[in-house]
Structure 1
Amino acid sequence: MEYRSAFPMLACDDLERSLAFYRDALGFEEDFRFEDEGKAVFVSLKLSDGTAIGLGGVPEGLAGIHGLPQRPIAGRFFELCVYCDDVDTAIEELRSLGHPVLVEPADMPWDERMGYVADPDGHPVMVVSSA
């Protein structure tokens, strides 16, 4: 068995607010949208290199297809890493859009510069560039 790719999916408290972060602030482009009664309930997004994520709005009390509850989320078990050209500029742009900065940009010993912001649901997003 060979696995070819992975597609992380995030459960979102407010899908439109999360779309604004990933699409408008980080530059992901909408690739697919599933609606229920005219309202988006799942959206997949891609970056120019093909990296993709899925965002799903999950109402309180709704179990996933797997039967496990998806709310409430206790702790944050997901972290996304996004590469960019300039971490300092990216973090400042995200801060100016109102996204909480968790870690200010810093040089890492593995020759990258990174910082962290939180997405609207509190998931940590690592923003990275070459040092």
Structure 2
Amino acid sequence: MQERAFPLIFAERVSATAEFYERLGFTRLRQDPPEGEPAYVSLRRGTAELAVVPTAWPQTQYGTPAGRGPRFEMFVLVDDLDTTLKDLADASVPLLRAAVEMPWGERIAYVADPDGNPVALAAGPHS
């Protein structure tokens, strides 16, 4: 058995959210259904995995509605923070917090995914 764990992202627009993560270097592995607006998209970047599903998912799967406001915070390491932020700005991705230097040497900025969830982007000593 392969040991795996990955988050599900509840999204209003599954395809737009999957495309956002593709801009951050994730690769789409599977989409169901294969054509049209998907109800499930799995993505991978290195050993990191995630899946994007509609906000109706928790209600249909286990009877609890998805929360309002930010439903998670994602943290993604990038090679070049400035280039990544420029590419996202060119794609009209909202900047939540400009890049700041952290005491431990990383530079971190926050952007919003298509549903407004915060995504921290970091570059620095991990590279």
Per the shorter chain, which TM-score range?
0.7 to 0.9
Query: 1 CA distance for matches of 2:91 and 2:39?
Result: 24
Mapped pair 1:14 → 2:13: yes
What is the alpha-carbon root mean square deviation over aligned residues? 2.2
Deviation track 1:16-37 (CA, whole Å, cap 9, x = no partner) reads 21122112x2121111222299
Length-normalised TM-score, structure 1: 0.83
Report the identity percentage: 33
1:65 match = 61
Length-normalised TM-score, structure 2: 0.85
Q: Which runs of 5+ in 2 are unaligned?
A: none
2:50 to 25, 45, 53: 53
Structure showing the higher helix proportion among its residues: 2
Shift of 1:82: 0.7
Report if aligned partners of 2:28, 2:44 keep a CA contact under 8 Å in 1. Answer: yes
2:75 match = 81
Query: 1 CA distance for matches of 2:68 and 2:58?
Result: 15
Change in 2 beyond 3 A, CA 1:30/1:68: same
Query: 2 CA distance for matches of 1:91 and 1:9?
Result: 24
Change in 2 beyond 3 A, CA 1:83/1:40: same
Q: Which runs of 5+ in 1 are unaligned?
A: none
**Which letter does structure 1 place at the counterpart of 2:51?**
G
Deviation track 1:51-109 (CA, whole Å, cap 9, x = no partner) reads 011100235x9713111122xx3221301111111112211111111000001111101
2:106 match = 112
